[in-house]
Structure 1
Amino acid sequence: MGGLKEALVIDREELKDVKHLPSADEIKELAEVAFNHTLAFCNENKHALSNLLSSNGDMQFYQMIIEVANNEFDARVPYLFGDINIKEANVKSSLPFSFIKTLYINTSVNLLMLWGAAPDSLSINEIKSIAGLIQTKSPVELIQIYKSYLN
């Protein structure tokens, strides 16, 4: 867990160079650098992570990963979306911020779990590209992108 946290902190440093709120396309491009160390760490430890996160793995480890991801999401929000008053947003919005956060985190963690289950199926660069897409595209848009590759 310590190595994962360190990699996330190093990757988050890349976001400090962005001096404006990035557009969705810029966020997608930032995935190329904002996950470098994290994905390299996951790749180096893919067998252990795969075992711990498998259906026969350690549920407590999974919960620890979710907690780390929650903390990292909170740390990155100001760089990517500006200051959001989460309590106020949850009160005024019909789409609570906590739902958005949970969807984002679970999608990201599940991407790593899928990759871990078949670690040689995709390269780190392909995973970065997918990470950028899942951060910025709706499921409907992702299906359209997928269908365009089939044609």
Structure 2
Amino acid sequence: MRTRTRKPAHPGGILFRKHMEPLGITITELAHRLGISRKALSAIVNGRASITPDIALRLSRALGTTPELWLGMQQAYTLWETANTRMEWRDVQPLNVEDIRKLRPLTDGARSRGFSDAQLTANAESDPDNPLLNEAFWEHARRASPACKTPR
């Protein structure tokens, strides 16, 4: 992920500075032209609401731009805000491809191909490095499917 040091401008501010001010159009007038409420447009212009795909289509039609322009600006703004104000995403660990490959036999797909729980656990027990022997994995499996039994 490319890291931006500066917060991007909210697309509502850009709408106001680059389009509304030069045209001399008010929030009330533009809202009427767009077919939305003055309150909704005011929230966007003042950075309190996001530009939705519907609003992006309306703005692009009225101002001769593209919906992708408005949605791209909104996406950049929202992503920066989330990355810099919420920290939970930093706790996510990268996936280990080897662990995923070892877990695959226990998917519903393996069961639908005729593997029984006994066959799957026998395969898991024959490989001492298999993460299926991990108690945390089986705790998760039991929560997901109460019928799932921990191999002993």
**TM-score, normalized by the shorter chain, greater than 0.5:** no
Which TM bucket (shorter chain)?
under 0.3
Higher relative contact order (CA 8 A, sep 6+): 1
* Structure in which a larger fraction of residues adopt helix: 1
TM-score by length of 1: 0.24
Q: Report the TM-score, using the length of structure 2 for normalisation.
A: 0.24
